Amino acid sequence: MKKLALLVSILAVATTGTLLALSAATAHPARTAAVHRAALKLRTGSLGKFLVDSRTGRTLYEFEKDSSRRSTCSGACAHNWPPVLTSRKPSVGTGLKASKAGTITRANGSKQATYGGHPLYRFIGDSKPGDTTGQDVSAFGAKWYVVAASGRKIDPEDAPAPSAPPTNPYGY
């Protein structure tokens, strides 16, 4: 009888330890780390001037499927495109307007930074500050775009077409 009670106790402790280890291993860093006030700044690159997280230099993206009042990115989407979580309205650097910065409340109750009405995300495919590998990517039901200083997406299709060289009316 004592052996059975001991065996049950050992199994309970082992199961609890395994569950705790799995929980820690699969926890999303954005949900486990302390949330601080987000800080936005501008960076200049091949796409022009765009938003980055001022602490990490990582490029910030918008998701076409989102509305200005809610994020539609959760689960696997949020794993690949981590939301920019914040404790309050983000601070903004030179060239950005504080009036365009804000927050929304995600389904889990956390606050997500917005700019120009768009919830902001990072992309796990960007390996270093200033990378823009998530630009114009179609994933999780819509396209992802880098956010310009204006608060609008940077869309390659919106770029003005190169102008044709002037023609000479005299044929030379």
> What pLDDT digit, counting tens, does each position of 15-41 carry?
434 333 333 333 444 444 578 999 999
Residue 122's identity, in one-letter code, is R
Q: Which residues contact 85 (CB under 8 A, 6 or more apart)?
A: 30, 35, 38, 110, 111, 112, 113
Output the six-digit token pair for 21: 């280890």
pLDDT at 125 (0 to 100)? 97
Closest CA to 81 of 128, 144, 27, 36: 144
Separation between Cα atoms, residue 83 and residue 62, nearest integer Å = 10
SS3 129: coil
Ranges of beta strands (E only) in 6-153 are 39-45, 48-53, 61-63, 91-92, 101-105, 111-115, 118-119, 137-139, 142-146
Q: Please give the model's pTM, rounded to 2 decimal places.
A: 0.74
pLDDT in tens, 132-165: 999 999 999 999 999 999 999 999 877 555 555 5
Separation between Cα atoms, residue 119 and residue 102, nearest integer Å = 9
Closest CA to 107 of 138, 80, 83: 83
Contact (CB, 8 A) for 147 and 84: no
Q: How many CB atoms within 10 Å of residue 113? A: 26
pLDDT at 129 (0 to 100)? 96
